[in-house]
Amino acid sequence: MDISYLLILQEFRNGIGSCLTGFMTKMSYIGEMNTVLIIAALIYWCVSKQFGNYLLMGWSGSRVVNGLLKVTACVYRPWIRDVRVVPDSEALATATGYSFPSGHSTNAGALYGGGAIRKELARALRIALALIAVLIAFSRNFLGVHTPQDVVVGLGSGVLVMWLTGRLLDWIRTKPEKDIMVMCAGIVISVAVMAFAAVKPYPVDYDASGKLLVDGAKMANDTYKGVGWCIGYLAGWVLERRYIKFSTDVSIMTRVTRLTIGLLSYYAVSQILVPVLKSAIPGPVGTVTYCFVQMFFVSFIFPWCLKKFNDFSIS
C-alpha cells in the first residue's frame, strides 16, 4: 500500500505536479541536517540563548533516536524495495542511510515542530512552524525517497523528543547542579548507540546480478553523525553554562555582527576543518569526531569567543 501511494505521487509529479517539484525540493532542503543545525545555532547565538539551547539539545537527541531506529529496523529505501519507484534525482543526493524513519522528517519535527509546541510563541508563528514541518515530511513522499510510515514516525519522534527536552530543561532550571549528570547520561546513551550500530549484523541481500543491494556499515553513518553531534552539544552545554555564560541580551547591531561572523566561522569549520578530519580519521570514529567538532564549536567555542570579545570591549 505504501508503494502504491508513492507511485500515485510519482505519476502526479511527472505530470501536472511537475510545477511543484521545485517547491518540494526547497522544503526538503530546509529539513536537511546542516540547514537545521545552522538555524538552531543562529538562534542560540543571536536571538535567544535559552530557546537555542532547547533546539540544539532536542535536535541532537532526536538525531541519536533517529539513528538508533534506522539501524534497528534496517528498512530499505522505496526504490530498492520496488524498481517502479523512481525518486527525484536531486532528492537522491540527500537520501542517505536506511529509510525508516525519515531523517528530514525527524529534523522537521525537532526544529519546526519543537517551536510549534512552545506555548510562549505567538499562535500564528506556531501554526506556520507546524505547517512547515508537515510540508517537509510530505516533500520526502512527493520526491519519492520515503514512504508514509517513514515520515510519520520521523516527524512524531522529533516532536516527542522536543517535548521531553522541554520537560528536562524545566527540571534542570530547578536543579542546575544536575547538568553534569544529564551530560554523562547522554554521553553514555550515545556511546551505547554507536557501539550497537558498529557491532550489530545487517541484512545482506543481493540483486539478480549478484550485486549487494545495501551496505549496512555505510547505512550506519548517519547514526554516527547523531552521536557526534549529541556528545559535542552536551560537552559544550555544560562548559558554557558553568564557565562562559554568554548572553543574547545585546543590541541589534551586535546580533547582526554575531550572525555574520558566526556563519562565516561555521562555514570555515565545516568546509576546511571537517574535510581534514575526515581524511585524517576514517571510519565511524572519524564521523563522530568531525560532528563533535562541529557541534562543540556551536555550543562552546563560538560562545567563548563572543564572551571574550565582549569582555575585551568593556575593558
- 218 lies in a domain? yes
> What are the backbone dihedrals phi and psi of residue 212, each rounded to the nearest 5 degrees, phi first?
-65, 125
Position 67 scores a pLDDT of 96
CA distances from 111 to 126, 136, 280 (A): 12, 11, 32
CA–CA dist 223, 62 (Å, integer) = 11
What secondary structure letter does DSSP report for 298?
I
Domain span holding position 40: 15-314
- 242 lies in a domain? yes
Paired with 206 in beta bridges are 212
- 7 lies in a domain? no
- 183 lies in a domain? yes
Position 251 scores a pLDDT of 92
Position 313 scores a pLDDT of 57
Position 97 scores a pLDDT of 80
CA–CA dist 24, 28 (Å, integer) = 6
Q: What's the pLDDT tens digit per position in 52-72?
A: 999 999 999 999 999 999 999
- 9 lies in a domain? no
- 228 lies in a domain? yes
Q: What's the pLDDT tens digit per position in 139-193?
A: 999 999 999 999 999 999 999 999 999 999 999 999 999 999 999 999 999 999 9
Count CB neighbours of 243 within 10 A.
10
Position 224 scores a pLDDT of 96
Query: What total of structural domains would you count in the chain?
Result: 1
Position 19 scores a pLDDT of 87
Instruction: With CA atoms as reference, report the closest residue to 274 among 302, 258, 296, 299.
Output: 296
pTM of the predicted model as reported, rounded to 2 decimal places: 0.93
pLDDT tens per residue, the chain (315 residues)?
A: 789 999 999 999 988 878 899 999 999 999 999 999 999 999 999 999 999 999 999 999 999 999 999 999 999 999 888 989 999 888 888 777 889 999 999 999 999 999 999 999 999 999 999 999 999 999 999 999 999 999 999 999 999 999 999 999 999 999 999 999 999 999 999 999 999 999 999 988 887 788 888 888 888 999 999 999 999 999 999 999 999 999 999 999 999 999 999 999 999 999 999 999 999 998 999 999 999 999 999 999 999 999 887 765 554
- 62 lies in a domain? yes
Position 204 scores a pLDDT of 87
Helix (H, G, I), strand (E, B) or coil at 30: coil
- 2 lies in a domain? no
